[in-house]
Amino acid sequence: MSDSLWIVLLGAPGCGKGTQAEFLVSENGFSIISVGEMLRANKSKFIEKENKTIGEIISGGTLLPDDVVMDLVSDELSKIKQVSSKNLIFDGFPRTVGQATSLNSLISKFGKKIDCVLNFDIEDEVIKKRILGRYKCSKCGKIYNDFFLKPRNEGICDICGCEVFDRRADDNEESLQKRLSEYHKKTVALKDFYESSGILKSVNADADFSEVRKSVLNNLNLG
């Protein structure tokens, strides 16, 4: 690829876009700005207008103010050396039309535009099982799920034999319902925004992993 490719991955929490992003990074040479990871890394930062920390806002299931997110994204872009020449993924961002418009303005300063937006389609009921059922080994980080992927021996990690597992604090019914409600309410217009630009592509996120991977690559003309 002679020109760098800047893409956006859209999808509700638990749709699998993060996993696909990891493969694009490891197998296809992309750099990534993962807003979810970025927010967790800055969870202790206090937001005066909300009178809460970023971590407290996230745990409540609501979205951060657009200006706060944009400041964090701008900082992350500035940390990537020769960013204009990189293939770059925005994972889980933007989440509102306001953020999308601000992102276009921000990246234009680098002489860039969003080339493709992949929308990961999946039913809410599948998402609930993925999120509410997920946990990981506290030692090696192996991911498991109560519905889809249990350890071969109950309570014992397949990889390292550890018997201690962790669940994310925001992986609960109340928080998830708020996150899904916020997602659907604010991203319907966002999908229309990108579709009107002719760059929105759909991915069936409920398919087998290999099929999702194939669809991602084909939509990016990397297959």
Q: How far apart are CA 207 and CA 19, in angstroms?
A: 14
How do strand 134-137 and strand 165-166 relate by DSSP bridges? Answer: antiparallel
Q: Which are the catalytic amino acids?
A: 17, 95, 134, 168, 179
Q: Are 4 and 86 in contact (CB under 8 A)?
A: yes
Q: How far apart are CA 61 and CA 150, in angstroms?
A: 27
Q: What is the CA radius of gyration of the chain?
A: 18
Shortest CA distance to 149 belongs to which of 209, 85, 193? 209
Q: How far apart are CA 111 and CA 113, in angstroms?
A: 7
Beta bridge partners of 7: 89, 116
Q: Are 32 and 91 in contact (CB under 8 A)?
A: yes
Query: DSSP secondary-structure letter at 156?
Result: B
Task: List phi, psi (to 5°) of 110.
Answer: -95, 5
Sign of CA dihedral 144, 149, 154, 158: negative
Shortest CA distance to 78 belongs to which of 118, 57, 107, 116? 107
